[in-house]
Amino acid sequence: MHSEYEAVIGLEIHTQLNTKSKLFSSAASRFGDEPNTNISEVCTAQPGSLPVINVEAIKKAILFGLAIDADISKLTTFDRKSYFYPDLPRGFQITQFYHPIIRNGKVTFKIDNYKKTVFIREAHLEDDTGMLKHFSTFTGIDLNRAGSPLLEIVTMPCIKTAKEASLYAMTIKLILQYLDISDCSMEEGSLRIDANVSVKKKHEKELRPKIEIKNLNSFNFLEHAIDIEIERQIKIYESNKNEDIRYLIKSSTYRYDSIKKDLFLMREKDSAEDYRYFPEPDLVPIVIKDADIEFIKKSLKELPHERYEKYIDKLKLNEDLASILVNDKKLSDYFEEALKDSLDPILLCNILTIEITGKLKETNKTITSIGIPHKNIASLVNMITTNEINKKIAKSVIDEMIKNPQKPPLEIVKENPLFKPLDDEEEIEKIVLSILSENSQSIEDFLNGKDKALGFLVGQVMKKTKGKASPEIVNKLILKKIKS
Partner 1 sequence: MYKKSAIEIRDLFLSKKASSEEITKYFLNRISKADPKINAFLSIFEEKALVKARELDKKLKEKKPLGKLASIPLAIKDNIHIKGEKTTCASKYLSNYKALFNASIIDHLIDEDSIIIGKTNLDEFAMGSSNENSAFFSCKNPWDLNSVAGGSSGGSAAAVASRMTPLSFGSDTGGSIRYPAALNGIYGFKPTYGRVSRYGLVAFGSSLDQIGPLANSAKDIALSMEVISRPCNKDSTNFRLPEENYLHNIPKDFKKIKIGVPYHFLENLNKNTKNNFDRMVDDFKNLGAEIIDINLDILKYSIAIYYIIATAEASTNLARYDGIKYGERAKNTSSLEELYSLSREEGFGKEVKRRILLGTYVLSSGYQEAYYKKAQKVRTLIIQAFEKAFLNSDFILLPTNAKSAFKLGSISNPLDMYLEDLFTIPANLAALPAITIPYGFDNSKPLGVQLIAPQLMDVKLIQYTILFENLLKTNEKIAPLFDKEF
Q: Which residues bind partner 1 (CB under 8 A)?
A: 41, 44-53, 80, 82, 84, 86, 89-92, 141, 272, 274, 276, 278, 281-284
Q: How many CB atoms lie within 10 A of CB 38?
A: 23
Q: How many CB atoms lie within 10 A of CB 338?
A: 25
CA gap 194, 258 in Å, rounded: 15
CA gap 207, 234 in Å, rounded: 14
Question: Do 77 and 99 contact (CB within 8 A), yes or no?
Answer: yes
Which is closer to partner 1, CB of 92 or CB of 219?
92
Which is closer to partner 1, CB of 97 or CB of 119?
97
- Tell me the pairing of strands 262-268 and 75-76: unpaired
Q: Which residues contact 223 (CB under 8 A, 6 or more apart)?
A: 162, 163, 165, 166
> What is the smallest separation between the CB atom of 188 and partner 1, expressed in angstroms?
25
> What is the smallest separation between the CB atom of 103 and partner 1, expressed in angstroms?
22
Which is closer to partner 1, CB of 136 or CB of 271?
271
Q: Which residues contact 234 (CB under 8 A, 6 or more apart)?
A: 1, 2, 5, 199
> What is the smallest separation between the CB atom of 275 and partner 1, expressed in angstroms?
8
Task: Tell the burial category of 392 from Cβ atoms under 10 Å away from its Cβ (0-12, 13-18, 19+).
Answer: middle
> What is the smallest separation between the CB atom of 53 and partner 1, expressed in angstroms?
7
> What is the smallest separation between the CB atom of 198 and partner 1, expressed in angstroms?
23
> What is the smallest separation between the CB atom of 314 and partner 1, expressed in angstroms?
47
Which is closer to partner 1, CB of 65 or CB of 89?
89
Question: Do 151 and 123 contact (CB within 8 A), yes or no?
Answer: yes
CA gap 389, 376 in Å, rounded: 14
Which is closer to partner 1, CB of 45 or CB of 245?
45
Which is closer to partner 1, CB of 283 or CB of 346?
283
Which is closer to partner 1, CB of 91 or CB of 459?
91
* CA 27 and chain centroid, separation: 29
CA gap 11, 421 in Å, rounded: 57
CA gap 148, 42 in Å, rounded: 11
Which is closer to partner 1, CB of 79 or CB of 122?
79
Which is closer to partner 1, CB of 25 or CB of 390?
25
Query: What CA dihedral angle connects 136, 138, 144 and 147, to 10 degrees?
Result: 130
Which is closer to partner 1, CB of 278 or CB of 295?
278
Which strands form 278-279's sheet, in the order they lie side by side? 92-95, 79-82, 278-279
> What is the smallest separation between the CB atom of 76 and partner 1, expressed in angstroms?
14
Which is closer to partner 1, CB of 84 or CB of 114?
84
> What is the smallest separation between the CB atom of 14 and partner 1, expressed in angstroms?
22
> What is the smallest separation between the CB atom of 281 and partner 1, expressed in angstroms?
4
> What is the smallest separation between the CB atom of 311 and partner 1, expressed in angstroms?
45
Which is closer to partner 1, CB of 79 or CB of 223?
79
Residue 178 forms beta bridges with which residues? none
> What is the smallest separation between the CB atom of 269 and partner 1, expressed in angstroms?
13
> What is the smallest separation between the CB atom of 267 and partner 1, expressed in angstroms?
14
